[in-house]
Amino acid sequence: MIAIPAVDLRGGKCVQLVGGDYDVERVRLDDPASVAREWVHEGFSRLHVVDLDAATSRGHNTEIIREILHNAGVPVQVGGGVRDDSRIERLLDEGAEWVVVGTRAVEDEDWRGEMAHRFPGRLIIAADVRDRLVVTKGWAETSRRNVIDFVEELRGLPLGGVLVTAVHLEGQMQGTDLPLMEDVAEASAWPVYASGGVSSLEDMRALEHRGLAGAVLGMALYTGAIDPRRLAEEFGT
């Protein structure tokens, strides 16, 4: 079980959103690359970088991502608006260890399979979830696909893992959706990483007990709800 700090990018800044709402920012920091370096300094051995502008087709933060990848010194997974093979290839070439793909991987089964086999072990499929239904396009659209059914469809693909975000709890620091995460972990053939609402060491231990491979943390770290050193000591590697 590993703790993975999130570095979410919007308009060239590092931000944290509340409840999956792009209009509600609680955290906004000017130097994302410095933030990434600080998490590594605190003892974390993996980072999660998301381009929120690319995810919502509002622009991109390509140069900042490139800077983070070149200087992180630890494995980095990158996502947000990854919808074609050229972007996957570019991110991997620039140093990403894994690329997180969401909307197109959910909507296009043929593309998902082709990319998984072209980049074996390097893709993490993102299933953003609200009321157990998968949401896409930066959380703006809700599909009719149950997340468990979707995860079971991924069996047989050479993936690097599955990232499940409880969008309804994102940034709220009310605890994560343990029943959801446990069910996904049981259904998945691949390591499952939880995101959304993780707010304490107890949440981390509960996820570990339920078979999760790791958790992406944002708001709890940025607001000091969890001491980063303690978290890194117990779940940093």
Contact by Cβ (8 Å): 148, 162: no
84 is catalytic: no
Distance CA 87, CA 41 (A): 29
User: Tokens for 61?
Assistant: 């933060």
Distance CA 51, CA 103 (A): 14
Residue type, 130: R
Q: Which of 51, 128, 177, 203 is flagged as catalytic?
A: 128
128 is catalytic: yes
User: Tokens for 105?
Assistant: 């991987």
Q: Which of 8, 53, 177, 203 is flagged as catalytic?
A: 8
User: Tokens for 54?
Assistant: 């690319």
Contact by Cβ (8 Å): 168, 19: yes
Q: Which of 82, 80, 89, 88 minimizes the C-alpha distance to 104? A: 82
Contact by Cβ (8 Å): 25, 32: no
Distance CA 125, CA 122 (A): 10
**Catalytic residue IDs:** 8, 128
